[in-house]
């Protein structure tokens, strides 16, 4: 194993944003072909409980490796995209009204991540 650690991924104050990044540097042994993983670490931060890290974390991935330097951790909103018109995404001829109690309105943005999420990472 090359190295492992943690990082804080900050989506900013509520209402947050759909994409956040944090650079992990100081990885002198990393090479372009290294395998890098990142995931939400279930520990509390000032903004989120450990349970939220388990059930409601953003999608996390690592990319952008720079040899002898490090990589970037990306977090993206799992649900921070406009709510589709269900009648348009089902099979042709099948319509389902978007009127169920509690349903978000068509085109409304779903909630986005906000605040700091604790991230674990490893590369080899």
Q: Does residue 119 surpass a pLDDT of 70? A: yes
Supply the mean pLDDT for the chain: 84
Exposed/middle/buried for residue 48 (C-beta within 10 Å: 0-12, 13-18, 19+): buried
Q: What is the pTM of this model?
A: 0.75
Domain that holds residue 104: 3-123
Domains: count for the chain = 1
State pLDDT tens for residues 31-69.
999 999 999 999 999 999 999 999 989 999 999 999 999
Q: Over pLDDT 90: what percentage of the chain?
A: 66
């Amino acid at each position: 194993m090359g190295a492992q650690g943690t990082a804080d991924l900050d989506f900013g104050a509520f209402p947050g944003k759909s994409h956040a990044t944090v650079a992990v540097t100081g990885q002198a042994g990393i090479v372009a072909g290294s395998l890098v993983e990142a995931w939400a670490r279930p520990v509390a931060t000032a903004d989120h409980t450990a349970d939220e890290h388990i059930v409601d974390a953003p999608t996390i991935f690592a990319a952008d490796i720079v040899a002898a330097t490090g990589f970037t951790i990306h977090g993206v909103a799992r649900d921070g995209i406009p709510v589709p018109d269900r009648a348009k995404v089902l099979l042709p001829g099948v319509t389902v009204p978007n009127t169920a109690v509690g349903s978000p309105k068509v085109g409304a943005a779903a909630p986005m991540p906000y605040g700091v999420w604790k991230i674990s990472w490893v590369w080899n």
